[in-house]
Amino acid sequence: MMQYDSASPTSILAPYVKTYWAMDHSFLPGGLHSQRIVPTGLTELVFYFGKPPRSSDLKKSFEDNVLLSGQQTTPFDLETSQGFSLFSVAFRPEGMKVFFGLPCDELTDRHLPLRFILKDETAELEARLWEARYFSERVELIEKFLIKRLQKVEKHYDFQRISHSVLLISNTKGDLGVDRLASEACLSRKQYERTFLHNLGVSPKKFIRTVRFQHVLDQKNLCPEISLTTLAHHCGYYDQSHMIREFRTLSGLTPSEFFSGCTPYSDYYQ
């Protein structure tokens, strides 16, 4: 049995946080559950209550119960067991850096224990979230924590510039080039790519590929009967072969394999 909850952030945090969500699994003794994790374009602060999950990719191992998860560029399988429970802050693509100040390219394809950055605050926050009985209480606690962090940090002068880029990419479903983005940001392409990587953790080109992939998942969810050829054309790929290559890179599967075994749900567009 699985219980899932979600909530939107308050207005002061909405420019940086996409959603809060929680999931609780109850399994039969010894039961295991495996889920394919694919790049979403989002970053997260995740609290695992009980035993953390196991990753099929040793480079993405879960070394703690409170983790900052950077941009993921490759798929991996997540194995959870009896009593698995989590609470997560899903940041907007450019949002995480505002709260923690780390260069986001240092977090790419990594899960970094929050205590490495905020030792005392992490222990206290984890304890209070553990004691909270309801999802709404956890949301209230994490919002107080994030607002306090927001008031402490220095201004990020690149935030508005990169936020505008992310909005353009989202609105066009990844159907635009890096030169246009650099021009909109009033930077040379080289400067822009460096700034984007520092603030999001991936290059503009890789982020665009992820957003386009997420658009495919969203469209397949909305129109389950859509053909792969139509899907490829509608989502900005050159042809069906191009989409298949991208799927193999980002999910480890062909579209047919993915859709037959995984729910086509877009974390980015939902």
Fold classified for 2-152: Jelly Rolls (2.60.120)
Distance, in Å, from the CA atom of 183 to the CA atom of 189, rounded to the nearest integer, reads: 8
Top-level class of domain 159-261:
mainly alpha
Question: Is the pLDDT score of 1 beyond 70?
Answer: no
Numbered ranges of CATH 2.60.120 in the chain: 2-152
pLDDT of residue 85: 86
Numbered ranges of CATH 1.10.10.60 in the chain: 159-261
For the entire predicted model, the pTM comes to: 0.92
Q: What's the average model confidence in pLDDT over 62-75?
A: 90
Concatenated DSSP letters for 33-63? Answer: EEEEE---S-EEEEEEESSPPEESSGGG---
Share of the chain above pLDDT 90, in %: 74
Q: What is the pLDDT of residues 203-236, one digit of tens each?
A: 999 999 999 999 999 999 999 999 999 999 999 9
Q: What is the pLDDT of residues 113-160, one digit of tens each?
A: 999 999 889 999 999 999 998 999 999 999 999 999 998 776 677 899
What are the distances in angstroms from CA 185 to CA 97, 163, 168, 218, 224?
19, 10, 11, 28, 37
Poorest-pLDDT segment among 32-36, 98-102, 140-144: 32-36
Residues in contact with 4: Cβ distance below 8 Å, sequence separation at least 6, in sequence order? 21, 22, 23
What are the distances in angstroms from CA 201 to CA 94, 106, 109, 152, 198?
9, 7, 9, 22, 6
Residues in contact with 238: Cβ distance below 8 Å, sequence separation at least 6, in sequence order? none
Share of the chain above pLDDT 70, in %: 93
What are the distances in angstroms from CA 202 to CA 41, 213, 238?
9, 15, 23
Question: Is the pLDDT score of 33 beyond 60?
Answer: yes
pLDDT of residue 60: 67
Instruction: Band the pLDDT of 26: cuts 50, 70, 90.
Output: low
Question: Is the pLDDT score of 27 beyond 60?
Answer: no
